[in-house]
Amino acid sequence: MKKRVDIQDKYDIRNCPFHLNYWTRCLIEDHLINVYDNDIFLFNQMFDENGDIDEELFRRCFRYTRDYCTKNKNGIHRMFSFFRAAFFENLRKMDGYDERMEKWYEETSAYLRAIREDSED
């Protein structure tokens, strides 16, 4: 079944009488929420208040959370509550992820070198 694009919603985004945060706009354009959503101001506020988070981490968690919510949209009762909880949980889990992976890689490499050296003796 071909997904119907509601052209009116795109028109409403351009002429929205209040500021739409970039990230809120992304959720609207991805059809996760619409401009008539009662929680649109809460999405705006959540994204505006978290501008001090590392930009790459923020983007990564946003995309991951958005994609998950999109796939499971029919099973989510209140999108804002679910998105907020999932987004902050993802931020918590992914904060420092790159450093932990780098440390794991270094430890694994050292372990493998030690095994090779032992087998050569």
Q: How many domains does the chain have?
A: 1
Let me know if residue 1 belongs to a domain: no
**Does the predicted model carry a pTM greater than 0.85?**
no
Q: Tell me the pLDDT tens digit for each residue of 58-86.
A: 999 999 999 999 999 999 999 999 999 99
Percent of the chain predicted with pLDDT > 90: 39
26 inside domain: yes
What's the pLDDT tens digit per position in 12-32? 666 676 788 899 999 998 989
How confident is the model over 83-90, as a mean pLDDT?
94
Q: Select the more confidently predicted residue: 35 or 70.
A: 70
Has residue 60 been placed in a domain?
A: yes
> 38 lies in which domain range?
7-120
Give a yes or no: residue 2 inside a domain. no
Residue 30 lies in a domain: yes
> Average of pLDDT values for 50-55?
78
Using alpha carbons, select from 61, 45, 46 the residue that is nearest to residue 94. Answer: 61
